[in-house]
Amino acid sequence: MSQKPALWVPSLFFAEGIPYVVVMTVAVIMYKCLGISNTDIALYTAWLYLPWVIKPFWSPFVDIFGTKRRWILCMQWAIAASLAAVALTVPAAGFFRLTLGCFWLMAFLSATHDIAADGFYMLGLSERNQSLWVGIRTLFYRLAMIAGQGGVVVMAGYISKYHPEAVAWQWSMAVLSGMFALLALWHSFVLPHCRDDHNEGAHRSVSDILHEFWDTIASFFVKPGIVGALLFMLLYRFPEAQLVKLIGPFLLDTREAGGMALDTELVGFAYGTVGVIALIVGGISGGWLVSVYGLRRCLMPMAWSMSLTCLTFVYLSFATDSSLWMVNICVAIEQFGYGFGTTAYTLYLIHFAHGSRSTSHYAIATGIMALGMMLPGMVSGWIEELVGYRTFFIYTSICCIITIAVSAIVRHRIAPASRD
């Protein structure tokens, strides 16, 4: 075990967050800046959730073939290469298909990196140290969101003032690729060689591992309350899954199109910096509240918080000439509510997965969560282009009734003292 987790825990989970935020958020803003329609942006970038949906199905192979340390390093070098490939293909004539292919590859690499990094964290630290470092791990994952959603977008916006959009995004992705290569090089030296990090395929047959895997899948779907739990996992984030794909385009679009007409640099600051800080504060506040009052008492207030804050974008759609201060306030309120409400969702997944095979059941639950984000997101751009931003935001606010309903369904199954 490593005696110096400070050398690798922060950087490892910073590296885990970067490719996720690039394919989920930065890609949306990049395509909007490059003139792609909202329908195509939402449809094709929503598909990028798929690797996280099916991640539990290939996680056993990360255990079977090679060590987790080797998987981490291979994935990080490959992610750096895929970012470089995005940079090379952005100026090309068929950039949309070419860059989407690169983002697809990056998404699969990132999901595989998640499996290896999460497993390595448990192998590289004692149980006591895992608890001590979990806050730092989460903090640096969130800082990666600021670096990607904020830093990269601000950089592209600044360069676009002097060069074409394609050149701005090419340079931004190239810088990010170089940074990720440095992270991979750093981890080549500082990741410890753990005694328990070995190739499971050398000690167990593939058929044994796969048999255990299918038993785990089957045991998940016979847990008590599975129907209500599945509805909650799939539908709690139904409004957010649609809203999140259109926030960036709404802030960038012209006022004639119903948008806020902000430049890319300001969007990077408002959505990627102010918004992410509010998201972090909301998540921390939610965790503290549950630790004091328990998940059962907090679930409904958190669901309402996540729902009511969607109204900030309804307001902005009626006040597209709002000052930058008002935009930042509205984005911060919405993201705080999102972070606050998502805490309840995450803790419910942990609560439902509790018991034998809890780690594997939690992985399956997060895959179902990703499916719940992917499917509504695919049609959100088409709906917006059909009805306009104002009606779209009203529609997503009405959809919050679904969030409240599924929360009420599962609440009674949570033990009154459940503080997770």
Residue 419's pLDDT band, with cuts at 50, 70 and 90, is: very low
Kindly report the backbone phi and psi dihedral angles of residue 69, in degrees, each rounded to the nearest multiple of 5, phi listed first. Answer: -60, -45
User: 147 versus 59: which is more confidently predicted?
Assistant: 147
The reported pLDDT for the residue numbered 139 is 80
Looking up tokens 């967050």 gives: 17
Instruction: Tell me the pLDDT tens digit for each residue of 80-118.
Output: 999 999 999 999 989 999 999 999 999 999 999 988 888
Tokens standing for residue 248: 């960036």
Q: Kindly list the domain boundaries of the chain, sorted by start residue.
A: 1-190, 206-420
Residue 413, pLDDT above cutoff 80: no
Tokens standing for residue 220: 């998940």
Contact (CB, 8 A) for 246 and 303? no
Give pairs for 123-128: CB < 8 Å, separation 24+. 123/68, 123/194, 123/196, 123/197, 124/1, 124/2, 124/5, 124/8, 124/191, 124/192, 124/194, 124/197, 125/1, 125/2, 125/5, 125/9, 126/1
CA-to-CA distance for 315 and 300, rounded, in angstroms?
24
Instruction: Tell me the pLDDT tens digit for each residue of 377-389.
Output: 999 999 999 999 9
Calculate the average pLDDT of the chain. Answer: 88
Q: Do domains 1-190 and 206-420 have the same CATH topology?
A: yes
Give pairs for 36-40: CB < 8 Å, separation 24+. 36/96, 37/381, 37/385, 38/246, 38/249, 38/381, 38/382, 38/384, 38/385, 39/381, 39/382, 39/385, 40/96, 40/381
CA-to-CA distance for 21 and 239, rounded, in angstroms?
19
The reported pLDDT for the residue numbered 273 is 86
CA-to-CA distance for 328 and 269, rounded, in angstroms?
9
CA-to-CA distance for 173 and 61, rounded, in angstroms?
30
Contact (CB, 8 A) for 228 and 410? yes
Tokens standing for residue 261: 């007409």
Residue 415, pLDDT above cutoff 70: no
Cβ count near 73 (within 10 Å): 18
Contact (CB, 8 A) for 117 and 184? no
Residue 205, pLDDT above cutoff 70: no
Tell the CATH superfamily of the 1-190 domain.
Answer: MFS general substrate transporter like domains (1.20.1250.20)
CA-to-CA distance for 224 and 216, rounded, in angstroms?
15
Looking up tokens 């600021």 gives: 146
Residue 203, pLDDT above cutoff 80: no
The reported pLDDT for the residue numbered 19 is 95
Instruction: Tell me the pLDDT tens digit for each residue of 235-244.
Output: 999 999 999 8
State the virtual CA torsion across 168, 155, 49, 105 in degrees, nearest 10.
50
Residue 198's pLDDT band, with cuts at 50, 70 and 90, is: low
Residue 58's pLDDT band, with cuts at 50, 70 and 90, is: confident
CA-to-CA distance for 322 and 324, rounded, in angstroms?
7
Mean pLDDT calculated for residue range 334-351: 86
Residue 197's pLDDT band, with cuts at 50, 70 and 90, is: low
The reported pLDDT for the residue numbered 101 is 96
Residue 163, pLDDT above cutoff 90: yes
CA 8, 10, 13, 18 dihedral sign is negative
CA-to-CA distance for 385 and 253, rounded, in angstroms?
12
Residue 418, pLDDT above cutoff 50: no
Residue 407, pLDDT above cutoff 70: yes
Cβ count near 105 (within 10 Å): 18
Mean pLDDT calculated for residue range 239-256: 92
Mean pLDDT calculated for residue range 63-77: 87
Residue 2, pLDDT above cutoff 60: no
Instruction: Reply yes or no on domain 206-420 having CATH 1.20.1250.20.
Output: yes
CA-to-CA distance for 28 and 237, rounded, in angstroms?
19
Residue 355's pLDDT band, with cuts at 50, 70 and 90, is: confident
Looking up tokens 């990090």 gives: 197
Instruction: Tell me the pLDDT tens digit for each residue of 275-307.
Output: 889 988 888 888 888 888 888 888 999 999 888
Residue 222, pLDDT above cutoff 80: yes
